Amino acid sequence: MERREISKDVYDKIIKQIPKKIIEMLPDKPENLLKYATRIKEVQFSKNVDEPTKKLMKEKLLNDEEYLRTFFFVMAITFYNKKRVENPQIKIVAAQTGSGKSNLTAKLLREDENYIFVDSDKYKHFRYDAKDIANEYQVLYPFLTGPDGYDHADNIYEYAIANKYNIIKESAPSKNKGLLNVDTEELLKNNYKISVYILAVGELNSLLSVHERYELQIIHGLKTAKLTSVGRHDESYEALIPNVEEIKDDKRINSINVYIRGNLDNAYSPTQIFPSERFCDIIECIKTIREEDNENTKEEFKKRYELVHKQMEARKAPKEQFNQLEEIYGRSIK
């Protein structure tokens, strides 16, 4: 996809508005970072986006001045206190939406803090009009702020690789994009060691978690809450095994690890299950753990389902959201 740079004139105009403290937090002089602030020439739309939303997405694209200003904010936040390393590593955390990727990422970050966490979702909030968009278009917020968020994530990723920072990236599996969704050759050229971390979670568990997380976000007043559709969930759930098959014998990948979700007994800390004595094949491992997890979820399903339902009733949730929950209920009694 073709990208374009931001002009020096725009840079000269906005650099005066960036406070000293934020400039101090940057990983390099702002003038040296300018070349990384590139933008996609044509906005890419997913198949499920309708025409009015596409129009609105184009309208809400930041102008170059605001884009660059936000770029400096997200660079400052992301690289603050992080250090370059001689032998960089990239960890890809992969699983379907709702499976607890953030928790595994947090665990990996606790083991070594010196990692850049690339996540397009969090950059969206740094644009000056994020709150206004969230108030006016609660459902469309992720779409309207998406293109600039993805560009910022690409900029950060590119800078991190060129300057040898350790990286953690979360990935929802996809049939078209594959699991890595990164330029492997570029990583190897920069001496990166690539490791993949997979969470094996049953579909019922992750589907319910999608709703539980959404309700909690609403309860805590997060206007940027996002309810993932069953379709998107299923796509990533079904793509995981084919995606792992594609890379399991890839010699360029240093290790592929499988984790199970944490529970009350281990303070919700994910536990590594592959490689281990129990499994000699990664695909068998993922399939078995998913089945076990599904059976366990069925036992607690009613309790979790009823709580979500009650929370939805309390806030008078839209009919479509109830329908989605009922669809998940239907799967639990199959």
Partner 1 sequence: MKEVYAELATEIIENELATVMNKYAVAQNQEDSKLLAQKIEVLQEMKVEIGKGNSNIIKMVLKRKKKGII
The contacts found for 10-15 with CB under 8 angstroms, 24 or more apart, are 10/64, 10/65, 10/68, 11/68, 13/65, 14/65, 14/68, 14/69
Q: How far is the CB of 64 from partner 1 (least distance, A)?
A: 16
Smaller CB separation from partner 1, 178 or 262: 262
Decide if 262 contacts 103 (C-beta within 8 A): yes
Smaller CB separation from partner 1, 220 or 251: 220
Q: What residues does 193 pair with on adjacent strands?
A: 89
Q: From CA 202, how far away is CA 105, in angstroms rounded?
A: 19
Smaller CB separation from partner 1, 188 or 219: 219
| Cis preceding-peptide flag for 275 (omega within 30 of 0) | yes
Binding residues (CB under 8 A) for partner 1: these are 17-19, 21-22, 69, 73, 76-77, 80, 100, 102-103, 106, 109-110, 113, 122, 125-126, 128, 130-131, 209, 212-213, 216-217, 219-222, 224, 261-262, 267-268
Smaller CB separation from partner 1, 53 or 311: 311
Smaller CB separation from partner 1, 39 or 261: 261
Burial label, 87 (beta-carbon count in 10 A; 0-12, 13-18, 19+)? exposed
What backbone torsions phi and psi does residue 55 show, to the nearest 5 degrees?
-60, -45
Q: How far is the CB of 94 from partner 1 (least distance, A)?
A: 17
CA dihedral 311, 314, 315, 321 (to 10 degrees): 50
Q: How far is the CB of 231 from partner 1 (least distance, A)?
A: 22
Smaller CB separation from partner 1, 103 or 294: 103
Opening angle at CA 209, ends 202 and 142, nearest 5: 120
Q: How far is the CB of 19 from partner 1 (least distance, A)?
A: 5
Q: How far is the CB of 17 from partner 1 (least distance, A)?
A: 6
Q: How far is the CB of 216 from partner 1 (least distance, A)?
A: 6
Decide if 33 contacts 159 (C-beta within 8 A): yes
